[in-house]
């Protein structure tokens, strides 16, 4: 008999090799107005609409101030809702108050700020929503990790009560474990009305404030690490923080309709190999059958790869598998036909069938069609229920001639309950059978997802993946801003390296999958989290590229410059091994040159650990450019490579 690999023995050795190398640093004070009192129109200048429709307007209201200060005012936001589905707005302002997408002030909020504080007032002329409140406002912070990327950190969803026609004071906690807090550039206000408002919403906001963590508060602790054995197969992981976040794959082609097959039954089945326990009920594995919309004027349309087609589309057959607290599981047939998009009330008001399996969710579940409308559900123990999907319900799945529309098959999962966020389920096999076998995927014997058959339709990147046997997860707690994972085959000495693998963001942790071939050693391996520290500056001339972990920290040769012609110099905040430190403070940098005739830029602040400066040499020869940290003299200055000037 072939011996079983000693994977658990390796796992135990790896646990002994966990290490943590870290020092906790703090950001310097930022040059921005905090709190933002909206004393003048200057505080309104940076507020813009990220998305709609409709589009709100922003004005300075000198007549309303939360503190009753006649010399101050507030930000007034007006939104003309009309009551149609999908109405929403996303609006934000930057700390820089420079107008629009101004990311010149970026700060590290991890461990430095505890609450987003504001005063809110609804104009009494605003009529309540159909739900007898003033709608769900979402508040959060805007992230700006680099010059081209903007994102959001959601902090709360606040249903505005009728009492908010008086000034209401809110203090929204900032979770230091939230992803993106290391590079925060502003704050946002969002509402998804989805038809609940049938009138104009007018509200005032005042005294926006990032409340600092008290100076006597203990420092944010570094993350802690752990290892766990990964379960092989197709993994659906409830990543992120949302209880309704869907993590799916779908067929690459819409070729999987059951309609028009005559006497040949069509079945869609999947085999569950692992599932959360009964102490975490209602975790969901689902399959969707989504037809491509048909318009007589243009023919078949298209649908994107969004994670929630059951919500977005007007037609869907939704098969829901859920575990229960008593150890059983239910397999439910839900549907909607030519329904209003952005809704799911039909599913839960009239399921056509529910099949219960007393032995739980493990095993093979099947949905089968015969003669278009005859449906059978089958459980792992062989339990069966039969019913009819009547002809009137087929209207959304055929065109005007009655021909079957192209149809995508999805399989995925979602937490459904908040307590299930972070859990996972594994599927070992998926089959679609018609006159022959259309799909037969054995995920226990695949190294990765077969992209000739499937594509991702997930809410969180990396939340769906095929895990090879004998893989492990390295996980660590949040916050982890600035930390990097390193591996080594020995516990001490040189050889520590970053593997560059993608990480998966969970609600309060991060994890990385290590395949058998990716382990850092044979029999044992060591992992550590290291927080790199800003110790010096780096100057990159045109033609040079950063190269961390090399002697010079860069590669390439400086391009020759022409006297009198400006060019850009990149200055990075780096550690001793020349890694850029994105969380470096926004220190002010001074640029000088060995060319006494050079035209030099004004001093500028680092943003996300980097800044670009415009320099013009004034004569011919060979010269250098030097960058010096004017805020912190302990940071080592850097002189760039000698550059020829023609």
| pLDDT interval class at 130 (50, 70, 90) | confident
Spatial CB neighbours of 128, under 8 Å, sequence gap ≥ 6: 134, 162
Over residues 248-255, the mean pLDDT reads 96
Q: Note the pLDDT of residue 475.
A: 94
Residue 332 has pLDDT above 60, yes or no: yes
Q: Return residue ranges of the chain for CATH 2.60.120.260.
A: 41-212
Q: What does CATH list as the number for 244-462?
A: 2.60.120
247, 413 contact by CB (below 8 A): yes
* pLDDT, tens only, 436-464: 899 999 999 999 999 999 999 998 889 99
Distance CA 37, CA 75 (A): 9
Class of residue 447 by CB neighbours under 10 A (exposed 0-12, middle 13-18, buried 19+):
exposed
Q: Note the pLDDT of residue 2.
A: 31
Residue closest to 394 by CA, chosen among 315, 322, 461: 315
Q: Residue 465's beta-bridge partner residues?
A: 235
Residue closest to 578 by CA, chosen among 630, 534, 627, 644: 534
Distance CA 382, CA 375 (A): 15
* pLDDT, tens only, 283-311: 999 999 999 987 777 667 778 888 999 98
Q: Taking the CB of residue 563, how many other CB atoms lie within 10 A of it?
A: 15
Q: Taking the CB of residue 619, how many other CB atoms lie within 10 A of it?
A: 12
Residue 11 has pLDDT above 80, yes or no: no
Distance CA 573, CA 391 (A): 66
Give, in degrees to the nearest 5, the angle at Cα 426 between 420 and 430.
Answer: 130
318, 288 contact by CB (below 8 A): yes
Over residues 499-513, the mean pLDDT reads 85
257, 292 contact by CB (below 8 A): no
Q: Taking the CB of residue 340, how many other CB atoms lie within 10 A of it?
A: 12
Q: Taking the CB of residue 307, how many other CB atoms lie within 10 A of it?
A: 24
pLDDT, mean over the chain: 89
107, 57 contact by CB (below 8 A): no
- Which range, of 25-29, 95-99, 521-525, averages the lowest pLDDT? 25-29
Distance CA 33, CA 146 (A): 22
The residue written with tokens 């080592």 in the block is 636
- CA 168 vs CA 30, 43, 154, 164, 196: distances in Å: 28, 20, 20, 6, 22
Q: Note the pLDDT of residue 128.
A: 93
Q: Note the pLDDT of residue 16.
A: 40
Q: What does CATH list as the number for 536-645?
A: 2.60.40.10
Q: First vs last Cα of the chain: how many Å apart?
A: 76
Over residues 524-553, the mean pLDDT reads 94
Residue 227 has pLDDT above 90, yes or no: yes
Of 172-186, 477-491, 628-642, give the range with the top mean pLDDT.
Answer: 628-642
SS (H, E, C) 20-53: EECCCCCCCCCCCCCCECCCCHHHHCCCEEEECC
In CATH terms, the fold of domain 41-212 is: Jelly Rolls (2.60.120)
Residue closest to 513 by CA, chosen among 485, 482, 545: 485
Q: Note the pLDDT of residue 12.
A: 42
Q: Which residues of 76-115 are buried (b: 16+ CB within 10 A; e: fewer)?
A: bbebebeeeeebbbbbbbbbbbeeebbbbbbbbbbbbbbb
Distance CA 96, CA 104 (A): 6
Tell which phi-psi region holds residue 17, choosing left (phi > 0), alpha (psi between -120 and 50) or beta: alpha
Over residues 129-142, the mean pLDDT reads 90
Distance CA 472, CA 475 (A): 10
Tell which phi-psi region holds residue 640, choosing left (phi > 0), alpha (psi between -120 and 50) or beta: beta
Q: Return residue ranges of the chain for CATH 2.60.40.10.
A: 536-645
User: DSSP class of residue 253?
Assistant: S
* pLDDT, tens only, 409-435: 999 999 998 889 899 999 999 999 998
427, 286 contact by CB (below 8 A): no
Class of residue 188 by CB neighbours under 10 A (exposed 0-12, middle 13-18, buried 19+):
buried
Q: How far is C-alpha 336 from the chain's CA centre?
A: 29
State the Rg of the chain over Cα. Answer: 29
- At residue 344, φ and ψ (nearest 5 deg) are -145, 20
149, 123 contact by CB (below 8 A): no
Q: How far is C-alpha 404 from the chain's CA centre?
A: 36
Distance CA 404, CA 640 (A): 66
């Amino acid at each position: 008999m072939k011996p079983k690999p000693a994977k658990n023995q390796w796992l135990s050795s790896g646990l002994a090799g966990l290490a943590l190398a870290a020092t906790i640093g703090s950001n310097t004070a930022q040059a921005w107005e905090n709190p933002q009192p909206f004393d003048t129109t200057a505080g309104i200048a940076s507020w813009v609409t990220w998305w709609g429709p409709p589009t709100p307007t922003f004005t300075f209201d000198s007549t309303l101030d939360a503190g009753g200060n006649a010399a101050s005012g507030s930000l007034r936001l007006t939104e003309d809702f009309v009551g149609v589905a999908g109405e929403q707005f996303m609006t934000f302002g930057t700390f820089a108050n420079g107008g629009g997408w101004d990311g010149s002030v970026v700060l590290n909020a991890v461990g430095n700020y505890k609450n987003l504080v504001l005063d809110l007032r609804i104009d009494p002329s605003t009529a309540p929503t159909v739900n007898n409140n003033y709608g769900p406002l979402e508040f959060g912070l805007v992230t700006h990790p680099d010059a081209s990327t903007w994102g959001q950190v959601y902090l709360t969803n606040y249903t505005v009560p009728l009492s908010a026609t008086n000034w209401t004071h809110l203090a929204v906690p900032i979770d230091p474990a939230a992803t993106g807090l290391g590079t925060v550039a502003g704050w946002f206000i969002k509402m998804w009305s989805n038809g609940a408002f049938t009138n104009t919403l007018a509200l005032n906001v005042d005294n926006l404030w990032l409340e600092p963590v008290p100076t006597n508060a203990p420092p944010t602790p570094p993350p802690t690490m752990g290892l766990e054995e990964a379960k092989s197969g197709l993994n659906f992981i409830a990543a992120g923080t949302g209880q309704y976040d869907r993590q799916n794959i779908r067929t690459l082609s819409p070729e999987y309709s059951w309609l028009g097959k005559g006497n040949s039954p069509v079945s869609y089945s999947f085999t569950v190999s692992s599932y959360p326990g009964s102490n975490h009920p209602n975790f969901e594995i689902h399959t969707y059958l989504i037809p491509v919309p048909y318009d007589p004027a243009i023919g078949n349309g298209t649908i994107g790869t969004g994670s929630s087609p059951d919500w977005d589309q007007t037609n869907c057959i939704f098969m829901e598998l859920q575990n229960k607290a008593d150890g059983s599981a239910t397999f439910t047939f839900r549907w909607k036909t030519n329904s209003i998009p952005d809704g799911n009330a039909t599913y839960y008001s009239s399921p056509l069938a529910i099949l219960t399996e007393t032995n739980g969710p493990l095993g093979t579940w099947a949905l089968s069609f015969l003669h278009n409308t005859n449906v059978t559900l089958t459980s792992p123990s062989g339990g069966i229920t039969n019913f009819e999907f009547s002809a009137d319900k087929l209207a959304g799945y055929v065109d005007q001639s009655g021909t079957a529309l192209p149809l995508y098959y999805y399989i995925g999962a979602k937490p459904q309950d908040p307590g299930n966020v972070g859990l996972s389920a594994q599927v070992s096999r998926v089959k679609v059978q018609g006159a022959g076998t259309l799909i037969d995927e054995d995920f226990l014997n695949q190294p990765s997802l077969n992209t000739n058959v499937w594509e991702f339709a997930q809410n969180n990147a990396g939340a769906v993946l095929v895990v090879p046997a004998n893989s492990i997860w390295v996980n660590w707690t949040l916050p982890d801003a600035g930390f990097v994972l390193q591996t080594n085959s020995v516990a001490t000495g040189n050889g520590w390296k970053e593997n560059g693998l993608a990480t998966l963001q969970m609600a309060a942790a991060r994890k990385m999958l290590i395949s058998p071939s990716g382990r850092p050693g044979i029999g044992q391996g060591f992992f550590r989290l290291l927080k790199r520290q800003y110790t010096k500056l780096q100057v990159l001339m045109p033609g040079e590229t950063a190269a961390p972990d090399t002697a010079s920290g860069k590669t390439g040769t400086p391009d020759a410059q022409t006297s009198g012609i400006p060019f850009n110099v990149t200055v990075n905040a780096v550690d001793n091994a020349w890694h850029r430190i994105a969380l470096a403070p926004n220190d002010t940098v001074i640029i000088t040159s060995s060319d006494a005739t050079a035209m030099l830029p004004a001093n500028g602040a680092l943003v996300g650990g980097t800044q670009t400066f415009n320099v013009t040499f004034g004569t011919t020869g060979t010269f250098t450019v030097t960058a010096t940290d004017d805020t912190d003299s302990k940071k080592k200055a850097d002189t760039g490579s000698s550059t020829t000037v023609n």
